[in-house]
A and B are shown apart, each in its own frame.
Chain A
Amino acid sequence: MSRPATDALGRIHSEGPAASSRVDDPDADLVRRVGSGDLLAVRALTARKLPRLTALAARVLGDAAEAEDVAQESLIRAWRQAPVWRFGEARFDTWLHRVTLNLCRDRLRRVRPGGPQDLEALVDPGPAPDRGLEARDVGDRVAAAMAILPARQREAVVLCHYQEMGNIQAAAALGISVEALESLLSRGRRALRTALSDLVA
Chain B
Amino acid sequence: MTPRPDSLAAAEARVRQLAESFGGDPARWPEADRLGAEAWIAAHPAEARQLLDDARSLDRLLFAWEAPRPTEGVTTRVQSAAPVQVRQSLRRAWVLTLTGGAALAAACLAGIVAAPRLVDPVARPAEAPAYASDPDSILAEAMTPWEAPVAESATGARS
Contact = CB atoms under 8 A, between A and B. Distances in A.
Interface of A: 1-4, 8-9, 12-13, 34-35, 37, 39, 42-43, 46, 50-51, 54-55, 58-59, 64, 67-68, 71-72, 75-76, 79-84, 122, 124, 135, 138-139, 142-143, 146, 157, 160-162, 164, 166-168, 178, 182, 185-186, 189-190, 192-193, 196, 199-201
Interface string B23-58: 100001011110011011000000000000000011
Interface stretch (B6-14, B98-106, B129-137, B146-154): B6-14
Interface of B: 7, 10-11, 14, 17, 20-23, 28, 30-33, 36-37, 39-40, 57-59, 61-62, 64-71, 74-75, 77-79, 81-83, 85-90, 93
A122 B67 contact: yes
Contacts of B33: 1, 3-4
A190 B20 contact: yes
Given A46-B78, A54-B67, A138-B61, A35 B20 contact: no
Contact of A135 (B59, B62, B64): B64
A142 B64 contact: yes
B65 A189 contact: no
A2 B64 CA distance: 34
A81 B92 CA distance: 11
A1 B10 CA distance: 7
A200 B79 CA distance: 42
Given A67-B68, A139-B64, A76 B30 contact: no
A68 B86 contact: no
A196 B68 contact: no
Nearest to B93: A84
A36 B76 CA distance: 20
Given A4-B30, A43-B79, A75-B78, A54 B68 contact: yes
A201 B17 CA distance: 20
